[in-house]
């Protein structure tokens, strides 16, 4: 089944991690993929992998904090393939110290470094994607936010703020652009995220999640309620992007879907044991 047959899809941050995985799957599903990344050396390997598998792709360097770069990326898609049907605003960065810097010690410069990508970059990508999509009668925009936008991560204040704000942009854009047939949705990845995310941007691309890199998977020790034999992977977060990009979700807009979640958001923070009552009527109470 080719969910994205003949659609033109631009992906930011597609040189590694979730963006790369989405690019490979999108091409597999028939899309003509525009691979963009701030790190230029990461673009060609993704384009080559897509072409080697029989897909169609091209690449261009895009720094999502630069409006002229975003505009050039969208123009490249339209000039190369004649249109833009899907934009995946995926590029993101983590906080300095990967959660080890106290909120009150984060500098304004550090705050802006994170949110110029995670927040402003989403706005700029939507802004210019919409301009192209309006000329062809519609499209789908998918934004990678984070589970941290739903439940905060300790030590990640700047990141949490930007990702939460990105969901607000998604809702506003869905309302404003629905009349043009343009849908805007978000994914909120939890587990199954790239092991590259906390590494130096120039580190080799691993193509695996934290959980996959951790060694043999034992589902009985998983932190999420769901128990399945394989660990969460990049693909578990990429496939929902493909769904939101496709016509299968054509009546979804303004949503934010937790992916790779494994049931985390289905439970409360109170640690109830499996049998939390002495019988069907009397709760267990610690005294």
User: Is the separation of the CB atoms in 112 and 93 below 8 Å?
Assistant: no
Rounded to whole angstroms, the Cα distance separating 161 from 159 reads: 5
Collect contacts of 169-172 with beta carbons under 8 A, ≥24 apart: 169/119, 169/122, 169/123, 169/126, 169/143, 170/122, 170/143, 170/145, 170/254, 170/256, 171/254
DSSP 231: -
**Buried b / exposed e along 185-195 (16+ C-beta atoms within 10 A):** bbbbbbbbbbb
Task: Classify 184 as helix, strand or coil.
Answer: strand
Verify whether residue 159 is a known catalytic residue. Answer: yes
User: Is the separation of the CB atoms in 130 and 86 below 8 Å?
Assistant: no
Instruction: Please count the other Cβ atoms lying within 10 Å of the Cβ belonging to residue 158.
Output: 24
Q: In this structure, what are the phi and psi dihedrals at residue 129, rounded to the nearest 5 degrees?
A: -65, -40
Identified catalytic residue from 159, 175, 180, 251 = 159
Which residues are catalytic, by number? 159
């Amino acid at each position: 089944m080719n969910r994205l047959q003949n659609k033109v899809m631009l992906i930011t941050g597609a040189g590694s991690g979730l963006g790369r995985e989405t690019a490979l799957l999108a091409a597999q599903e028939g899309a003509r993929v525009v691979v963009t990344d701030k790190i230029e050396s990461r673009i060609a390997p993704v384009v080559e992998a897509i072409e080697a598998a029989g897909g169609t792709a091209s690449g261009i360097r895009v720094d999502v904090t630069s409006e002229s770069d975003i505009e050039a990326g969208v123009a490249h898609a339209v000039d190369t393939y004649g249109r833009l049907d899907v934009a995946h605003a995926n590029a993101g960065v983590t906080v300095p110290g990967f959660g080890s810097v106290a909120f009150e010690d984060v500098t304004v410069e550090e705050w802006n470094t994170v949110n110029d990508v995670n927040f402003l970059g989403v706005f700029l990508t939507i802004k210019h994607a919409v301009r192209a999509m309006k000329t062809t009668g519609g499209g789908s925009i998918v934004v990678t936010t984070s589970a941290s936008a739903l439940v905060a991560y300790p030590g990640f204040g700047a990141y949490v703020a930007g990702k939460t704000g990105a969901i607000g942009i998604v809702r506003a854009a869905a309302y404003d652009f629905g009349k043009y047939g343009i849908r805007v949705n978000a994914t909120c990845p939890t587990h199954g995220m790239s092991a590259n995310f906390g590494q130096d941007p120039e580190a080799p691309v691993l193509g695996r999640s934290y959980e996959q890199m951790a060694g043999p998977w034992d589902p009985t020790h998983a932190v999420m309620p769901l128990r399945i034999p394989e660990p969460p992977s990049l693909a578990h977060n990429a496939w929902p992007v493909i769904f939101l990009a496709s016509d299968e979700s054509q009546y979804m807009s303004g949503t934010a879907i937790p992916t790779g979640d494994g049931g985390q958001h289905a439970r409360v923070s109170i640690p109830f044991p499996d049998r939390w009552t002495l019988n069907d009527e009397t709760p267990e109470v610690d005294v």
